[in-house]
Amino acid sequence: MSERSGKAEDKKVGKDALAQDFVQFAMDGGVLRFGEFKTKAGRLSPYFFNAGLFDDGAKLGRLAQFYAQRLLASGIEFDMVFGPAYKGIPLGAVVALELARQGRNVPFAYNRKEAKDHGEGGTLVGAPLKGRVLIVDDVMSAGTAVRESIALIQSAGASAHAVVIALDRQEKATENGQDVDYSAVQYVQQKLGLQVCAIAKLDDLLEYLELHSAAGLIETRQRVSAYRERYGVH
């Protein structure tokens, strides 16, 4: 091995291999794109992550593997999986399926946005909510969906225990149109007391862009890094 290639290998030591694989997977599927995109907070982001584009069986199956691997490695304890409407419903279902495939079979439930007034009625579908509940979602922009899920879970007599997401943007949340000094993930962890784990973080994306700078991603990394510097939290 040449000295140059050896140094390239050294750069990879200590990197989160699962996160790096996930970033590559998201890029290959067009889920993670670069350019100029307006966020809900009105910011111009140099990247866009749209989990709705995990839109076929193969992609969903691989996505579920990433979620399950991260969860099982995290050590987070939970008794069941909950998928909040709408994006959380298919995500929660495939994660529960993959967990069972890997030997961790747990109940699964989800909610409707509007209560059903016939049949079984109510807003909850699936297994009864009980014990320590794991909430599955794609990203966390403001923590609003999590707060709604917590209220629903607690009203059923269960405990909202943890959240797993695909990507942690690691950027400042907004309140009343103003930036605050914490992210939505930090708010959920520190203010609501829930554990949060993510398959990948913005820092992992920056590491990926650095490791693949030879592929013409130097400018992209500079834009993402500048965005992180302006809106990021640590």
- What span, in angstroms and rounded, lies between the C-alpha atoms of 66 and 95? 9
Written in H, E and C, the secondary structure of 157-184 is CCEEEEEEEEEECCEEEEECCEEEEEEH
Token look-up 């067009």 returns: 30
- Give the residue numbers annotated as catalytic, written as ranges: 116, 118
The tally of CA atoms less than 13 A away on the side-chain side of residue 29 is 22
Cα distances from 24 to residues 106, 188, 232, in angstroms, run 29, 27, 22
Start-end of H helices in 13-87: 17-28, 57-74
- What span, in angstroms and rounded, lies between the C-alpha atoms of 16 and 205? 11
Phi, psi of 203 (to 5 degrees): -60, -35
Cα distances from 41 to residues 92, 93, 169, in angstroms, run 26, 29, 13
